[in-house]
Structure formats: C-alpha cells, structure tokens
C-alpha cells in the first residue's frame, strides 16, 4: 500500500460550483440543486489564450486553480497529472464533421484544442510552470488511474502533486457510443503522508519515511492509503452515499470521485473502491484532525 495526504480540493459539477458550496452538499448539510452551468474562463489565462481555450480546458483549469489556492501552494510549482476519458469531445466532434464535409479544412485552433494534453498545456502556459505533467485516460476508470499515478508520484518524489480529472458531454452521434452527460471536474493537491502534522493521522509506508518536507506547510484534509486489487468492484461500491448523486456519478467518468469527495466533505473515515478496468483501486481515507481548520 502507498500513502499520501490531500491538501486542497477543487470541484465543479451540476449544483457543485466550487468546493465551499459542494462541501455542504456532499456532507449532507445543504440540498443539492443541480444546474449545468460551466465555470467562467479562468482569470489566470491571458486574454488571447482565454479566447482560444475550449470548454474542457476552462473546466480543468478552474478546479486546478481552486485546489492550489485551497492548499496554499503556487499554481505553477507542482508537477501534475491530468486525467480525462473523453478530452474535449465537442471539439473532436466538430473536427470529425469538418473532415466528413465537402470542405475538410481543419481550424488550427480547433486542432490544438482537440489533443489530449490541451488542458495541461494551457495550465503550464497560464502558470508559467516548467514542472512535468502526465496526461492519461482510463475510460470510466480515469479518476482511479489518475489517483493511482499521482499518489505513486508523490511517494517516489517526496513532493506534492496536482491531480486534475475532468470530462464533458460528447455531442451526437458520438454520444450514442460514449454516453457522457453533464460536465464534471475535480482536482486534488496530494502531498507526502510523512508531512502530515502531528496528531493529524500520520501514516508510514513506501515513499513517506525520509521523503523530505516539500509541501510541509500545507493544511491537510485527510491522509489515505491506496492499493491496486486485481478483482472487480462489487456492485454499488463506487456510488456516492447520497442517492440523488447516483445518476451524476454514472454519467461522467470524473464524477466517480464523488464517494471520496463525500467522505472528505463529511470528515469521515471510509474505504472506497474505484473500478479500473478489470481491477480496482482501493482507497482507505483517514480524515485529519486539522480538517476543520483547513476548510475554506
């Protein structure tokens, strides 16, 4: 089992517009009132990039910036893991329609927004970051794959890592084959478990002892242990506890994070299973005693 801690959270989805509002809903202290708006274009993008950026990029950057702000870290200082199942399906759909038309001239702007690392590229430009970024996809298990990769990187480097997971609906006719509904994204700033403050749920494990103190000033919401299990997830284990959110969790790969986000919001210890192809990523979440102080 590998171990890390969560120092900052960003989220955006129907009725979950940012972590402060989402936290109350996910903790069960506020009603869920779904709406399907997208976040405004991130202020950290220069005007030219803001005009060119697609909806998927704007969504990813909004939650990434929120997580970094919540953790109190400079946005461009962290290596990143960006995970998305579909990328920008709207842009890809438009490109395919153009290629199938009588005038198949592809817009350069649309083309560069269609590549899988577009959001990560905009992020590094906006934050002037030279830190490495990994971009990956794992179909419906993209959140699990991203969390596994980011946690492994925290353990191997001994430093904090930004995880960003996002997906948007895809247009017809692709929707018939890849039924993603709603826009949803989340971001987590992960830090070494060894740097958790005393009494806040310290854990020992690979990548924690002698890992250094990078990110040591970051307030912790929770520590967690993570393992890969070569067995399928039991039915219903991935779903959030709040039944109204079941449809959202099943309709967007990034929203498979909701069960973990619920536990974070409630300050609850929980064992969470995330499907990853034929196996699962098993997460043992342990809230830190400093969680209340780190809430925003």
Q: What is the mean pLDDT of each run of 10 residues along the chain (296 residues)?
A: 96 96 95 86 84 90 96 94 92 86 87 87 94 96 98 96 95 83 96 60 34 56 96 88 93 96 96 95 84 37
DSSP letter for each residue of 88-113: SHHHHHHHHHHHTSSS----HHHHHH
The confidence score (pLDDT) of residue 210 equals: 33
3-state secondary structure of 152: helix
Could you please state the CATH topology (level 3) that the domain comprising 2-294 is classified under: Peroxisomal Thiolase; Chain A, domain 1 (3.40.47)
Spell out the alpha helix ranges (H) of the chain: 19-26, 47-52, 55-71, 89-99, 108-114, 118-127, 142-157, 246-251, 258-266, 291-294
The confidence score (pLDDT) of residue 292 equals: 37
Nearest one of 243, 240, 230, 217 to 281, comparing CA atoms: 230
Burial of 49 (0-12, 13-18, 19+ CB in 10 A): middle
**What is d(CA 129, CA 77) in angstroms, rounded to the nearest whole number?**
6
What are the residue boundaries of the structural domains of the chain, listed by start? 2-294
Contact (Cβ atoms closer than 8 angstroms) between residue 86 and residue 251 = no
The confidence score (pLDDT) of residue 215 equals: 53
Phi, psi angle pair for 162, to nearest 5°:
-95, 125
Contact (Cβ atoms closer than 8 angstroms) between residue 194 and residue 112 = no
């Amino acid at each position: 089992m590998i171990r890390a801690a969560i120092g900052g959270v960003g989220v955006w989805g129907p009725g979950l517009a940012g972590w402060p509002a989402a936290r109350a809903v996910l903790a069960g202290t506020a009603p869920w009132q779904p709406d399907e708006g997208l976040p405004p274009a991130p202020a950290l993008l220069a005007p030219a990039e803001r005009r060119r950026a697609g909806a998927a990029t704007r969504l990813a950057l909004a939650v990434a910036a929120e997580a970094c702000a919540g953790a109190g870290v400079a946005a461009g200082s962290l290596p990143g893991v960006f995970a998305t199942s579909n990328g920008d399906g709207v842009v890809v759909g438009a490109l395919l329609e153009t290629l199938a038309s009588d005038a198949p001239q592809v817009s350069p702007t649309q083309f560069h927004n269609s590549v899988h690392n577009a959001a990560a590229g905009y992020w590094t430009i906006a934050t002037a970051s030279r830190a490495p970024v990994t971009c990956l996809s794992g179909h419906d298990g993209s959140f699990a794959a991203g969390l596994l990769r980011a946690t492994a990187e925290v353990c191997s480097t001994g430093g904090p890592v930004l995880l960003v997971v996002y997906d948007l609906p895809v247009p017809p006719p692709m929707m018939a084959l890849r039924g993603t509904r709603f826009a949803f994204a989340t971001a987590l700033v992960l830090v070494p478990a060894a740097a958790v403050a005393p009494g806040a749920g310290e854990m020992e494990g690979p990548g924690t002892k002698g890992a250094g103190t990078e990110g040591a000033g970051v307030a912790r919401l929770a520590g967690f242990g993570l393992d890969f299990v070569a067995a399928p997830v039991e039915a219903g284990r991935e779903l959030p506890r709040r039944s109204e959110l079941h449809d959202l969790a099943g309709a967007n790969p990034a929203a498979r994070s909701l069960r973990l986000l619920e536990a974070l919001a409630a300050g609850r210890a929980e064992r969470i299973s995330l499907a990853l192809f034929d196996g699962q990523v098993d997460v043992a979440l342990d809230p830190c005693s400093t969680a209340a102080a780190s809430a925003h």
